[in-house]
Amino acid sequence: MSDTPDTKNDIEALQHNPDYIIMNNPLASPKFVRAISKSEQKTITEIYTPKVFYEIVSRLKPEHLIGVANNQNITIEIVIKDFLRDIGAEKTKNYKHLITSVETLQTTILKWKDDKGEHRSPIVAFSTHDHKSSTIQVQVHEKLVKIILDVKEKGNFSFLKHNVHKLQNAQAIKLYPFLKAWLNYGRYETELVRFKERLGCNTSGYQRFAAFEKYVLMPALEEINEKTDIRVSYQKLGTNLQGIKPRVTGLIFLIKPKDKTKQLPLPEGPPDQVPELTTEYEPQPTVLVASPELSAAEFAELYDLFKLIWIDERPDPLTSKLLIDGYVTKYDKESVLDAFTALIDTKAKAKSVAFFTADIFSKYKGFREHKEVKRQTERNRLTEKQQEQAEQERMKLILGDFERRERAYFMQAYEKTTEDERQIILDQLDLGNAANVVFFTDEGEPTELAKGEIGKYWVTNHTPYDRRLTFQKIAEREYNVQIEFDEKGIPFFRK
């Protein structure tokens, strides 16, 4: 099932599936997530409370509203052990954090307006911790349930619950649903001051963008990219960005799915009658700009190559991945692959990522193609050499077989000669006297070698024997090859 519904049936199916979260786009705001996790125990509840909230949302179904009277509550039961296991927090002390998070939801007031007026309700109206069964029953007001389940066919966002449950970085938990809501547009642009305010990071410790980037933005995006179903990169907006003292005033986030999913239709306008906190939610985007398509495998290939390039001041993994995404957007995937491959092959040394200029990507354009041509030429040369060696071995085999056949033929010719004919041939061959152990035995009889020489002489001089022609016929008949001879009489295979 796609996690981006665009029909009423899809929405109802997701509402009945406890593994999915589906809500109106405004509830994706990081400001909303920040609001549901305010507490003195900030670090703990910022991680736990949103997960409890999404757990409740995933359990709510349209059937819960059937037969429910006005102003009644709907009860959802959470098995503590199962929930802690799902979020990767099974230690005993985390039991207490879960109770604290439920209490936080009981003190978090949502406000919304409709034609009947302005309404206020805590997210959890009442809760019961059953120690005996190790469960927590949470009650949600029926009017708030209606608001949560009133998901429009346009202007909604949905995701698998486990994508949030796996996250352990508080800022990642705030950002993931928000970025997921913008996935279908591929891009989100914001002013830096406004963005930090929504994340709750507009404090003195994060006044410098470098600190905000290092301790908030990059860790959050790194975990989102590693553990969820989307990949996010960003570009900085401002002045003097390439200088010593850059001034960052805004950010552009580029959001891509890790797999192919059905995309949402463009919303006609902001959803009506949605829960509203003390400040407005993000407006619906009006510009649709998609970054270049890059599959997970292609991105992994580029990242692996980037890690092989010699860079003295190498950036951290998340920055590296964001840089790669930016290179692809600006110069295209093939040019980046060419440049990375060339820098590795030439063992180039870069002091920092400032080395990766437009000139570098232009200089090495087509490098892999030239490299492949050279490699193919070498492969062809090697193949020809191997074929030549194979032909030589085969020729040796055929020649060896022919020579064995020829010796047998010469021996047959020897047997057909008379004693007088043999003696005449021996004298003509001048093989030596009986003392020559190569051609004569101790008894003075000719050896097999001598017999072969006698048979050869007889065949050569007394028959129409053509050695080359015979060799060619045997090769063609027995080995299905055709043989020719060069000027020096050396045989070779006819092509």
Q: List pLDDT tens digits, range 44-59.
A: 567 778 888 888 888 8
| Chain mean position to CA 325 | 14
The 3-state secondary structure of 59-76 reads HCCHHHHCCCCCCCEEEE
At residue 439, does pLDDT exceed 60? yes
Taking residues 470-493, what's their average pLDDT?
91
Which pLDDT band, with edges at 50, 70 and 90, does 2 fall under? Answer: very low
How far apart, in whole angstroms, are the C-alpha atoms of residue 33 and residue 170?
10
Mind listing the pLDDT tens digit for each residue in 257-316? 886 544 444 444 333 334 443 333 333 332 323 334 567 788 888 989 999 999 998 887
- Among the residue ranges 300-309, 434-443, 452-461, the one predicted with the least confidence is 434-443
Q: State the DSSP H helix or E strand holding residue 13, giving kind and residue range, or none if neither.
A: helix 8-15
Residue 457's contacts (CB-CB under 8 Å, 6 or more residues apart) are 425, 428, 429
Is the pTM here over 0.85, yes or no? no
How does residue 69 score in pLDDT terms, banded at 50, 70 and 90? confident
Beta-sheet strand order (sheet of 126-130)? 73-79, 135-141, 126-130
List Cβ neighbours of 172 (8 Å cut-off, separation of 6 or more): 219, 220, 221, 223, 224
φ, ψ for residue 70 (rounded to 5)? -60, 135
Q: Which of the pair, 154 or 489, is modelled with greater confidence?
A: 489
Numbers of helices and strands, H then E, in the chain: 19, 14
pLDDT at 14: 60
Provide the token pair at 60.
Answer: 């709510």
Q: Which of 105, 259, 252 is nearest to 179 (CA)?
A: 252
Q: How many CA atoms lie within 13 A of 160 on its CB side?
A: 12
**What confidence category does residue 492 fall into, taking pLDDT thresholds of 50, 70 and 90?**
very high
Indicate the average pLDDT of the chain.
79
Helices (H), 202-242: 209-212, 218-227
Q: Encoding tokens for residue 287?
A: 């510009």
Tell me the average pLDDT across 348-368. 91
Token pair of 367 as six digits: 């490098």
Identify the CA nearest to 459 among candidates 394, 386, 495, 410. 410
State the DSSP H helix or E strand holding residue 112, giving kind and residue range, or none if neither: strand 109-114
pLDDT value, residue 473: 92
Q: 3-class DSSP state for residue 77?
A: strand
Q: Which residues pair with 26 in a beta bridge?
A: none
Provide the 3-class DSSP secondary structure of residue 21: strand
Q: Are 141 and 73 in contact (CB under 8 A)?
A: yes
pLDDT score of 41 more than 80: no
Alpha helices in 71-126 (DSSP H): 80-86, 94-106
Q: How many residues does the chain have?
A: 495
Sign of CA dihedral 92, 93, 99, 104: negative
Residue 25 contacts residue 157 (beta carbons within 8 Å): yes
Instruction: Report pLDDT for 17.
Output: 67
Percentage of residues of the chain with pLDDT beyond 70: 79
Q: Predicted confidence band at 155 (pLDDT cuts at 50, 70, 90)?
A: low
The lowest-confidence range among 155-159, 205-209, 304-308 is 155-159
Who has greater pLDDT, 481 or 160? 481
